[in-house]
C-alpha cells in the first residue's frame, strides 16, 4: 500500500517541459532519497507534488493516501499531509512566526489545541531543536539567515506532523549548528511521527543517520535509476557521469 504514488507524470511551465514520465512511489514511513545533477528537475518534482501553481501537469497522476490530488491545490495537499520544505522559504513581513504557526495549526482538525496547549507544544519543540524562543516573536523569515530559516522549517515539520515530508536540500550551505538542528529535526520527525521522507540532497553525511529505503536518480527531467541505499555510496564515489552518459545514449 503506497502513501504517495506518482505515475506517468509529465509537467513543466507554460513553455518549458521539465519533467518527463515520472514514476515514483513512497510507502508510509519510508525514507527515499532523490539525487541528480543541478538542473535535473528535482526541485520541480517536489513543487509539482506539492501543487505549486507555477507548474502545469500535462499528463500522469499524483495520488496520496488513496486520493487523486493531481488537480487539487497546494492547500488541499498540505491538509492531506504533504509537506515541502522550500529551497528558498518565503518572507512574510508583519506576521510573527508564532502567529503563523498558530494559524496553520488551526486549519487542521487533527491538531486541535487550546492556546495554552499550543504554547507548550511549540515550546517543547523549540527545546527539542535547541532553538532560542526569541525566534517566535520575529516576523516570519524576515532577515533570517539560511540556517535560521531551516530551523523554522524543522519547527513547522514537528508541529504539523505531515504523513510525507519532502525536504529539498534542507542541508545545503548550513553551518555545523544548523546542520545539527536539521538532523535532530529529521530524527524527531521519524521517531515521533513515523512519517515518510523524500530527501532531495547531495549531503551524504545527513543521510548516515537515516535508514534509507530507496534511492532515485534524476537526469534531465527523467528518473533514470532506482536502487537501495548503496546507490548513494556509488554516486558518492563516481558521481552522475554514468547516468548522464546513459541518458545521452538514449537520446
- Indicate which of ligand ADP, Mg ion, none lies near residue 23 (CB less than 5 to 8 Å, by partner kind): Mg ion
88 binds ligand ADP (CB under 6 A): no
Cβ distance to ligand ADP smaller for residue 118 or 240: 240
CB 155 within 8 A of CB 101: yes
**What binding mask, one character per residue, do residues 6-45 give for ligand ADP by CB under 6 A, x or -?**
-------x--x-x-----------------x-xxxxxxx-
Return the one option of Mg ion, ligand ADP, none that residue 18 interacts with (CB less than 5 to 8 A, by type).
ligand ADP
CB of 210 to Mg ion, least distance (A): 20
Q: Of 40 and 157, which CB lies nearer to ligand ADP in the complex structure?
A: 40
From ligand ADP, Mg ion, none, which one binds at residue 8 (CB under 5 to 8 Å depending on kind)?
Answer: Mg ion
CA separation, residue 82 to residues 6, 39, 147, 208, 222 (Å): 13, 23, 23, 24, 22
Smallest gap, in angstroms, from Cβ of residue 180 to ligand ADP? 24
Helices assigned H by DSSP within 22-171: 42-50, 74-80, 97-106, 115-128, 146-160
**Going by C-beta distance under 8 Å and a sequence separation of 6 or more, which residues neighbour residue 202?**
35, 169, 172
DSSP codes joined into one string, 47-71: HHHHT-TTSEEEEEEEEETTEE-TT
Q: Which residues bind ligand ADP (CB under 6 A)?
A: 13, 16, 18, 36, 38-44, 54
Amino acid at each position: 500500500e503506497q502513501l504517495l504514488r506518482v505515475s506517468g507524470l509529465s509537467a513543466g511551465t507554460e513553455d518549458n517541459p521539465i519533467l518527463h514520465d515520472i514514476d515514483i512511489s513512497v510507502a508510509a514511513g519510508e525514507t527515499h532519497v532523490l539525487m541528480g545533477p543541478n538542473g535535473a528537475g528535482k526541485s520541480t518534482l517536489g513543487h509539482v507534488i506539492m501543487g505549486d501553481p507555477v507548474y502545469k501537469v500535462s499528463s500522469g497522476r499524483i495520488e496520496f493516501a488513496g486520493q487523486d490530488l493531481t488537480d487539487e491545490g497546494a492547500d488541499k495537499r498540505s491538509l492531506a499531509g504533504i509537506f515541502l520544505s522550500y529551497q528558498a522559504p518565503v518572507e512574510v513581513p508583519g506576521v510573527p512566526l508564532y502567529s503563523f504557526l498558530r494559524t496553520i495549526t488551526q486549519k487542521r482538525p487533527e491538531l486541535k489545541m487550546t492556546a495554552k496547549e499550543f504554547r507548550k507544544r511549540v515550546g517543547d519543540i523549540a527545546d527539542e531543536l535547541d532553538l532560542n524562543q526569541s525566534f517566535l516573536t520575529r516576523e516570519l523569515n524576515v532577515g533570517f539567515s539560511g540556517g535560521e530559516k531551516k530551523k523554522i522549517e524543522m519547527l513547522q515539520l514537528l508541529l504539523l506532523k505531515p504523513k510525507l515530508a519532502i525536504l529539498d536540500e534542507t542541508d545545503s550551505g548550513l553551518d555545523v549548528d544548523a546542520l545539527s538542528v536539521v538532523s535532530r529535526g529529521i530524527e524527531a520527525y521519524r521517531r515521533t511521527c513515523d512519517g515518510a521522507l523524500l530527501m532531495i540532497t547531495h549531503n551524504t553525511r545527513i543521510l548516515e543517520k537515516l535508514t534509507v529505503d530507496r534511492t532515485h536518480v534524476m537526469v534531465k527531467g527523467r528518473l533514470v535509476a532506482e536502487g537501495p541505499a548503496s546507490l548513494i555510496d556509488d554516486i558518492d564515489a563516481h558521481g552522475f557521469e554514468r547516468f548522464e552518459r546513459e541518458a545521452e545514449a538514449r537520446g
